[in-house]
C-alpha cells in the first residue's frame, strides 16, 4: 500500500484526483497539502496545512511514494508578475526538489499544452521551465501531463476559457494529426491518467492532451 502526496486538491484536476485516490486500493494514505484547512473527512486523508512561503518547514511531511502536483493559477488571480512566477515555477520546483531529497519515487505534474521554456508567453514558459527542472532531478518515475482546454465544473468563472472550449469542441472532429492535442479534455480524464502513470511502467514521460485520453 502506498502513500500519495497531493498538491492542488482544490483545483479542477486536483479535486477529481483526490476522489480517485480515495477510491484507489493502491493507496492507504493521502497527504493533502493545503493553504487552509478543508472539511474533507476520510480515514485515508491526512490534511497538512502548508505555508507555501516556507516549504522547507514541511520537508518531513513531503515523504511518500507518489507526488501529484496540480497547483496552478491565472494572471487574473495573480496579477503580480513575481507572484505568478512563484506559483507557476518556483513552488513546483521547490516541492520537486524536496520530494527528490526524500526519495519519493514518482512525480506526476500537470503542465500545459505547448509548454516551452523558450516561449515568450509567461504561462507556457514557466511550465516548460518547470518540466526541464523535473527532468533534471531524474525521478525514478516522471509523468508530465500537457492537457488542452480542461472541461469540468470550475469554482471560478472563466468566460474566455468557456468560449474557447465551446469553439474547440465544435472543431474537434477537424483537429487531426498534430492538432489532435488541441481537443478539449475532461479534468477527470486527466486525473485518472495521472494515477495510471504513477502505477504502471509506461514507455514515455510526456503526454500530450490526446495521449492523456489514450492513457485513460
What are the tens digits of pLDDT across the range 9-41? 988 999 999 999 999 999 999 999 998 877 788
Task: Say what the pLDDT of residue 124 is.
Answer: 93
CA distance 31 to 5: 5
Task: Say what the pLDDT of residue 159 is.
Answer: 52
172 in helix, strand or coil?
helix
Q: What is the CATH number of the domain that holds 160?
A: 3.40.50.720
142 in helix, strand or coil?
strand
Domain holding 119, by residue range, is 2-215
Q: Which residues neighbour 130 within 8 Å (Cβ) at sequence distance 6 or greater? A: 88, 89, 92, 93, 96, 109, 111
Task: Say what the pLDDT of residue 140 is.
Answer: 96
Task: Say what the pLDDT of residue 79 is.
Answer: 66
Number of H helices, E strands in the chain: 7, 9
Q: How many structural domains is the chain composed of?
A: 1
State which residues of the chain have pLDDT below 50. none
Task: Say what the pLDDT of residue 81 is.
Answer: 84
191 and 17 Cβ atoms separated by less than 8 Å: yes
Instruction: Give me the residue label for grid cell 487574473.
Output: 76
Q: pLDDT per residue over 117-129, tens digit each? A: 999 889 999 999 9
Task: Say what the pLDDT of residue 212 is.
Answer: 92
Task: Say what the pLDDT of residue 161 is.
Answer: 55
Amino acid at each position: 500500500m502506498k502513500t500519495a502526496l497531493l498538491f492542488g486538491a482544490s483545483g479542477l484536476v486536483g479535486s477529481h484526483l483526490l476522489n480517485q485516490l480515495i477510491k484507489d486500493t493502491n493507496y492507504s494514505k493521502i497527504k493533502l497539502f493545503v493553504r487552509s484547512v478543508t472539511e474533507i473527512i476520510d480515514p485515508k486523508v491526512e490534511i497538512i496545512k502548508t505555508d507555501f512561503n516556507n516549504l522547507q518547514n514541511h520537508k518531513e511531511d513531503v515523504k511518500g511514494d507518489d507526488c501529484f502536483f496540480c497547483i496552478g493559477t491565472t494572471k487574473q488571480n495573480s496579477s503580480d508578475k513575481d507572484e505568478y512566477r512563484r506559483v507557476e515555477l518556483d513552488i513546483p520546483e521547490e516541492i520537486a526538489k524536496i520530494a527528490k531529497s526524500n526519495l519519493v519515487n514518482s512525480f506526476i505534474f500537470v503542465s500545459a499544452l505547448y509548454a516551452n521554456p523558450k516561449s515568450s508567453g509567461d504561462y507556457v514558459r514557466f511550465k516548460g521551465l518547470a518540466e526541464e527542472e523535473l527532468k533534471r532531478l531524474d525521478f525514478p518515475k516522471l509523468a508530465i501531463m500537457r492537457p488542452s482546454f480542461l472541461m469540468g465544473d470550475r469554482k471560478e468563472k472563466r468566460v474566455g476559457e468557456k468560449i474557447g472550449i465551446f469553439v474547440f469542441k465544435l472543431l474537434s472532429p477537424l483537429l487531426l494529426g498534430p492538432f489532435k492535442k488541441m481537443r478539449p479534455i475532461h479534468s477527470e480524464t486527466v486525473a485518472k491518467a495521472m494515477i495510471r502513470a504513477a502505477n504502471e511502467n509506461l514507455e514515455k514521460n510526456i503526454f500530450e492532451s490526446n495521449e492523456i485520453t489514450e492513457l485513460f
